[in-house]
Amino acid sequence: MKYSGWPESGDLVVGEVDEITDFGVFVDLDEYEDKRGLCHISEVASGWIKNVRDHVREGQTVVAKVLEVDEGSQQIDLSIKDVNEHQRKEKIQDWKNEQKADNWMEIAFGDDVTDERYGAIANALLVDFESLYDAFESAAIHGADALEDVDLDDEEIEAIVETARQNVSVPYVNVTGYVDLRCPTGDGVDRIKEALQAAEGEDVPEEIDLEVTYVGAPEYRIRVQAPDYKTAEDALEAAADRASDSIIADGGTAEYHRERREDEE
C-alpha cells in the first residue's frame, strides 16, 4: 500500500536510487505515491566523499531518514548516513512485511479491488493495528476475535481471517513445565486423572496448544505452544494451577517445577 500523503521529519523511508548527481542522490520513495526525495552528498556517507557512486548506485534500494519536508516546494530532504545497520534491517523487514500484506489484501478481496475499497478496508484496520501486516498476523492467530473492534462487515472480516490463516506464517514458541501430583485416597488414580483433565482446560484460547503427558509417577509434563513467551508462560502456569487446585481439593498434594527431577533423567 502506498501512502498518498507525506512522510514526517524523523521517519525512516525505503526508496530506490533514481538519479545520481555531483551534489547528491535522488530517491523515489517506495512507500509514498509520486514522492521523491533528495539526499545531499554530505548526507550520503560519513566523511569526505570524492565520488557519490562509490557509495550508491542507480536502482539500489536504500533506507533513509527524513530530515525535512517542504510540501509547498514538493521537497523532501533525506539522509542515508543517519541510518545505522540495525535500523536499516528493521525498516527493510517492515517494508517487506507490508508488501506481503498488500498481496494478502489482493488475495482476500481480489486483484481488481478498487482503490477506494482497498483504502477503506486498510484505514479501518490501521485504526486498531500498527500495520496491515500486524492485522493479518493477529487474524491468523486469534481469528475473527482479533478484528471484533474493527469497523468492517462480517464478510470482510471472514475474508481477512481466511486469507491470513492460509498465508501467514505465525511465529510460535514452546515452553514446558512439570507438576508432581499425589493423592493418598483410595480413588487417588481417578482423582489424578481429573486433575490432569483440569490442567488441559476447557476454555483454552484457540491460538494455544496445550498438552499434558505422563513422565513417571508422580510427575506429569505440561507443554504449551503459543504465539509469544508471555502468553505461553501464563498458559503454562494456569494449567499447573488448575491441576494443583483440583488435586488439593480432593485431599492430595501438588508441586510445580520447570525442570525435570534429576532422578527421573
Q: Residues 251-265: pLDDT tens digits?
A: 999 999 987 665 544
Map residue 239 onto helix, strand or coil: helix
Per-residue pLDDT, 264 = 45
Do 193 and 243 contact (CB within 8 A), yes or no?
Answer: no
Q: Give the burial string for 224-239 (b: 16+ CB within 10 Å, else e).
A: bbbbeeebbbebbebb
Percent with pLDDT over 90 in the chain:
72
Rounded distance between C-alpha atoms, residue 120 and residue 122, angstroms: 6
Residue extents of the structural domains in the chain: 12-82, 86-167, 173-264
Grid-cell match 488435586, residue found: 247
Q: What is the pLDDT of residue 265?
A: 43
Mean predicted confidence (pLDDT) in 49-69 = 94
Q: Which CATH class is domain 86-167?
A: mainly alpha
Q: Are 225 and 209 in contact (CB under 8 A)?
A: yes
Exposure string for 85-111, b = 16+ CB within 10 A, e = fewer:
eeebeebeebbebbebbeebbeebbee
- Segment 40-52 shows an average pLDDT of 91
pLDDT above 50 (res 87): yes
> What residues have CB less than 8 Å from 96, skipping those under 6 apart?
none
- Reported as type and span, the H/E element at residue 122 is helix 115-128
Q: Is the pLDDT of residue 157 over 80?
A: yes
pLDDT in tens, 196-246: 999 998 888 878 999 999 998 899 999 999 988 888 999 999 999 999 999
Q: What is the CATH number of domain 173-264?
A: 3.30.70.1130
Please name the residues in contact with 24: beta carbons below 8 A apart, sequence gap of 6 or more: 38, 39, 40, 41, 43, 44, 52
pLDDT at 113 over 90: no
- Please tell me the CATH superfamily of domain 12-82, with its number: Nucleic acid-binding proteins (2.40.50.140)
181 DSSP β-pair partners? 254
* Distant-in-sequence, close-in-space partners of 179: CB < 8 Å, separation ≥ 6: 199, 219, 220, 222, 240, 243, 244, 254, 255, 256, 257
Smallest Cα–Cα separation from 62: which of 132, 101, 110, 14?
14
pLDDT at 204: 83
Q: Kindly report the pTM of this predicted structure.
A: 0.63
**Residue 56 scores a pLDDT above 60:** yes
List of residues 6+ apart from 176 with CB closer than 8 A: 221, 222, 223, 224, 236, 258
How many residues in total does the chain contain?
Answer: 265
* Residue 51: DSSP 8-state: -
